[in-house]
Chains A and B, each alone.
Chain A
Amino acid sequence: MAQAPIPGDGRRAAGLLAPAYLWLTLAVFLPLSAMLFFSFLTAAPFGTESPRATLENYRDFFETPTYALLLWKSIRLGLWVTLLCVLIGFPCALVLARQIRGRAREALFLLVILPFWSNSLVRVFSWAIVLRGNGVLDRTLDALLPFDVRLGLMFTPAAVVIGLVHSYLPYVILTSYLALQAIEDDIFDAARALGAGRITILRRLILPLSLPGLIAGAVLVFVPVVGSFMEPRILGGRFGTYFGTVIEDQFVAVFNWPLGAALSFILLAVVLAILGLSSPVLRRGLT
C-alpha cells in the first residue's frame, strides 16, 4: 500500500496506518463497494427480478430535472451552513485560544462539544419547540420587547439553516482552536516588535497559520450537510426537501437500492469535485 522512499520508514508508516485502514476497509470500503456495484444493476439482488448490468440509474439523474434541482439546493444549503459556521466559529476559537487562559479554557473547550453528547433527534425537536409560533423564542422576545413579535421561523429554510449550523458549529470551533492554539506566542511578539498592526497580524499571521484547522472544520461541516435530510424534514416543513431526502426515499418508500446508491455516489462525486476545485487553498490545508 504505502511505497515509501526509505524502506524502514515505509514499514513504520504502514504499521501505523494498517489498523485504521484495514478496519475502514472491512466496515466501510467493502460494503460501499458492494453498493457501488448495485448502482450499476437494474434491481437490488434480493427481490424477485434478476438483476442485469445497466447505466440507467446514472442516466436517470441527468434525465430527471428534480434530482439536479435538489442537488443544487443541497449544495447551496451546504455552502450557507459552512459559511455561517466559519463566520461564527472562527472568532469564537480565536477568543478561546488567544484570550482565555488556564483551567477556564479547559472547561470551555469541553463545554463546546458537550451538547453533542445528546441525541440529534431530541435536539432537533428542541429547536422546533424554540422556533415554532408562540414557542420559546417568540415568548422570550415578547417578554423582552415592548411590541408584538411574530418571527414565523418554523418550517422555513431559515429554520433548517439554524438547526444545521447548531449541529455542526463545534467542528469549526474545535479544529480552528486546535490550529490557533498551536501557534507560538513568540511569533506575535516578533510581529508586534516589527510594528505590525492588529489587522496585519490577523491577515498575515493568524489566518494563514490556522488555515489547515479552519479548512478541516469547514470540510467536516460541508460534506455531511449536503447529504442531510433529517433536520430539513423536521424544521423545513414543505421547504424541507433536499437531495438527501430523495436518496432516503429510494430505500424507504420504494425498493430501489440501485437508484438510491447511484444518487449517493453522484453526491459523493460532486462533493469531492467541489473540494478538489476549492484547491489550491484546500490542498494546502489537506496535505
Chain B
Amino acid sequence: MTRHLLLTSLLALAAGSATADEIRVLNWQGYGTDLDWAVEAYAAATGNTVLHEYFTSEQEMLTKLRTNPGAYDVVLINAAFTRQAKDEGLIGPIDTTSMTNFENISNGFTTDSELVIEDAVYGVPWTWGLTSFAINTNAFETAPDTIQVFWDPAHKGRVSIRDDALEAVQFGALATGQNINDVKDLDSVEKKLNELMPQIRTFWSSENDWNQYMAADELDLATYWSGSAARSADMGLPVAFVVPKEGAVAWLDGLSIPASSTHKDAATQFIDWMIDPDFYTRWDAEGAPASANAAAAEALADTSFNKRVLGDPDVVARVQFQKPVDDATRETYLELWQGLKARQ
C-alpha cells in the first residue's frame, strides 16, 4: 500500500525530467534527506542520483557554501540563518509552482516566516521542532511542569544543558520570563545561569552524548530537542519530553537551493519529495521532527509523538519561534557563556 502510494506520487514528480542528474545535498548526517529508502525511491522515480555531504555546525554549512560555489544543489538551512544566506547571495529564490506539495504547507510557515523574503521563497519549510527538555522517567513520579526544576537542589549534579551559547542564553531567558528573541535583561540571565552551574553534571553536545548519558543513568533531566526525544524514547530509553509552563523555543528548518546550483529542476523535485506526506509518515515512524506540511502532519497516526505532543494547541500557544540572531548578539552571548564556563 505504502509502496504504491510512494510510486504514484513519485511518478507525478518525475514528469518533466528528461535527463539523469546527480544532485548534491548538504545537511546534518542522519537528518531525513539521506534515508536509504527515500533516496532510492527518488532515484527510481526520477532517474536522478543523490550524493550527500554533511556539516556539523551552521557556521560550517555557510563556510562550505561560500567556498564551494556550484558544489551543492540542496541545502538544509535553519530559518534563523536563511536571511543571512540570502543576503550573502548564497541561495536563490525557489520556483514553487512545479511543486505538488507546496500548497499544503501550513500558512503560518509560508507567509509569516523567515524563509519567505519579499514574497520570494528562499527556503521551503520542511520540519520544525522544539528545544525544551526531557526527563529520565525513573527519576520523577510525575513530570514537572516548570523549567525551575533545573534549579531544584534535589537534582543537584544530575542535570545537563547543551554546550551552546545561544541555547543556553535562550534557556536562561525562558527561566527569567523573557522574550527569547529580545533579551532585555542579560544580567539576570547570566545570574540565573550562574546559579545553574553547580547543578550541572556535564554539558552535552550531540544526540549521541545525550543518549549515552541517559543510558548510563548520569542524568535526571536535560535540555533536548523534540524530534530527538521521540527517537530516544523509541530506542527504549526512559525518556519523556516536557514543554514547561514557561514555554519553549521553536525552530524551523527549510530546504534551500544554492544560487550556484546547476541542477535546479532536479533539486526542486527532490524538495517536493521531501515534503511529501508519504515520505513524512514513513520517516516519522523512525523518529522525525514535526513536518511543516499540514497534510503530512495530518496523515500521522494519532499515537505519533509529533501529533500527540506538538499537535496540542496548548503547547503551540506556549512556544516562541526563534528569530534570526545577528553576529554582534551571537558574540555577546558567546562571551557570556564562555565566561560562565571558564569560572568553573
Contact = CB atoms under 8 A, between A and B. Distances in A.
The answer to whether any beta carbons of A and B sit under 8 Å apart in the complex is yes
Interface of A: 46-48, 64, 66, 69-70, 73, 125, 128, 132-135, 154-155, 233-234, 237-241, 245-246, 249, 251-256
B240 interface: no
B202 A255 contact: no
Q: Which range contains the number of B residues in contact with the other chain? A: 35 or more
List 7 A-B pairs, minimum CB-CB distance, nearest first: A237-B202, A241-B341, A46-B66, A252-B57, A66-B342, A155-B202, A254-B330
Contacts of A155: 201-202
Interface in B25-70: 56-57, 59-60, 62-63, 66-67
Nearest to A250: B334
Interface string B201-212: 111010001001
Given A133-B216, A133-B218, A135-B216, A249 B344 contact: no
Contacts of B203: 233, 237-238, 240
27 contacts: A46-B63, A46-B67, A66-B335, A69-B343, A128-B212, A133-B218, A134-B216, A134-B217, A233-B163, A237-B200, A237-B201, A237-B202, A238-B201, A239-B344, A241-B338, A241-B344, A245-B338, A245-B341, A249-B338, A251-B59, A252-B56, A252-B59, A253-B57, A253-B59, A253-B165, A254-B331, A255-B59
Contact of B335 (A64, A128, A251): A64
B344 A238 contact: yes
Given A46-B67, A252-B59, A254-B331, A66 B339 contact: yes
Interface of B: 56-57, 59-60, 62-63, 66-67, 84, 87-88, 163-166, 197, 200-203, 205, 209, 212, 216-218, 327, 330-331, 334-335, 338-339, 341-344
Given A254-B331, A256-B327, 11 more contacts: A69-B343, A73-B342, A128-B212, A132-B216, A233-B163, A233-B203, A234-B209, A251-B60, A252-B59, A252-B60, A253-B334
Contacts of A135: 216
Nearest to B199: A238
Contacts of A73: 342
Given A46-B66, A233-B163, A253-B59, A238 B200 contact: yes
